[in-house]
Amino acid sequence: MVLSKKRIMLTGGAGFLGSFVTEKLKARGCKNVFIPTEQECDLTKPSAVEAAFKDAGNLFSSTPNSQLKTLNSRPPVDVVIHLAAKVGGIGANRENPGKFFYDNLMMGAQLMEHARLSGVEKFVALGTICAYPKLAPVPFKEEDLWNGYPEETNAPYGLAKKMLLVQSQAYRQQYGFNSIFLLPVNLYGPGDNFKPGSSHVIPALIKKCVEAVKSGAKEITVWGTGKATREFLYVEDCAEAIVLATEKYNSPEPVNIGAGFEISIKDLVELIAKLTGFKGKLVWDASQPDGQPRRMLDTSRAAKEFGFKASTDFETGLKKTIDWYRSVVA
C-alpha cells in the first residue's frame, strides 16, 4: 500500500503515540491525514463516529488535488489507524475498570463497523500487551493470547482491546474486510503522560526521581516489590512499526510489536535513578500491586511479516525521555 496516495483517518493522532505516527506518515509524503480530536469528537458515541467520517470526507473532497476528490462511488476514507484509547497505569486501571472497559470497547467496535459500512480499504487496530494471560509463557507468543485470563488489575482494559481482534477476524471472515491487529508492548518516550494519577511506570519514576533531585529528598517510594519484569518500546520505534504494518501487512493473525527484552522493575528503578542523578534511598511499598509477574514479547512475526525490528537502545531512549521531561518542567 502506497500511503502517500491514501486518505487516512488517524484516531488518537494528537496523543503520545499518535504524534509520532503523524510524523512517520508525513515523512512518507502523506498529505491527507484527518485527526478527530477528543475534545470535538467522543468516539464512544455512534453519532460522533458518523460525524468524524463525514468531516473527513468533506476535508478530503476539498483538497486541491482533483484525484483525491470524494466521488459518490468512493468511501470518505481509505485507511483508518485506530490509536485512540482510554489508558493508564495500574492505579488508573484499578480506579476505572468500568470506564476503561466501556470506552475502549465502544470506540473500537463502532469505528470498525462504520469503517466497514463506509467501504474503508484497511483498518489498523491497536491492542495491548495487557490482553495476554497473566501467566503466559515468556516470551509471549501470539498463539498464546487466548490461553488464560489477563492480570486482574488491567483485565477490563485488556479484554476490551482484545475484542478488536475478534471483530477484525469476524469481519474479515464474513465481509472480506481488511482489518489487522497489532499488540504493542509498554511504550515510553518524549511526550509521555507524566500525570501522577494515570501515568505508566517509566514516566512516574522519572518524575519522582527528577523531583527528588530538585528538592533534595533523601528517599522515594516505589510501588510493589520490584520483582516483576517488563518490556519497553521507544515510542518512535512503535510508530514506525504501525506504519510498516499499514503498508505491508494484510493477514488476520495478531502481531506483537516490541523490543524483545525484559527488565525487572528493580533494575529499571535503579537505572532511572542513575540517569537522573538521584542517589537517595529506594523504599519499596509491597502493599501495592506488582501487576503481571513477567512481560516480554516474541517479536519474530513482526520481523518476518513486515520487517520491523526496534532500533532504539533502551538507555538511549530513557536519556531522551528524561531530557525532554526536564526541558518541559524547567
For the annotated catalytic residues, the residue numbers are 157
Q: Return the HEC string of the chain.
A: CCHHHCCEEEECCCCHHHHHHHHHHHHCCCCCEECCCCCCCCCCCHHHHHHHHHHHHHHHHCCCCHHHCCCCCCCCCCEEEECCCCCCCHHHHHHCHHHHHHHHHHHHHHHHHHHHHHCCCEEEEECCHHHCECCCCCCECHHHCCCCCECHHHHHHHHHHHHHHHHHHHHHHHHCCCEEEEEECEEECCCCCCCCCCCCHHHHHHHHHHHHHHHCCCEEEEECCCCCEECEEEHHHHHHHHHHHHHHCCCCCCEEECCCCCEEHHHHHHHHHHHHCCCCEEEEECCCCCCCCCCCECCHHHHHHHCCCCCCCHHHHHHHHHHHHHHHHC
- Band of residue 199 on the pLDDT scale cut at 50, 70, 90: confident
Answer whether residue 244 is part of any domain. Answer: yes
Q: Is 150 contained in some domain?
A: yes
* Per-residue pLDDT reduced to its tens digit, 297-310: 999 999 999 999 99
Per-residue pLDDT of 61-73, as tens digits, reads 876 554 444 444 5
Residue 245 confidence (pLDDT) above 50:
yes
In a domain, 271, yes or no: no
At residue 97, the pLDDT reads: 95
284 part of a folded domain? no
Q: Is residue 176 part of a domain?
A: yes
The answer to whether the predicted template modeling score (pTM) of the entire model surpasses 0.85 is: yes
Q: How many domains does the chain have?
A: 1
What residue numbers bound the domain in which 76 lies? 3-188+232-258+294-312
Judge whether 266 lies within some domain: no
Does 198 reside within a domain? no
Average pLDDT of span 139-144:
97
Any domain includes 308 = yes
CATH number of the domain residue 136 falls in: 3.40.50.720
Confidence class for position 330, pLDDT limits 50, 70, 90: low
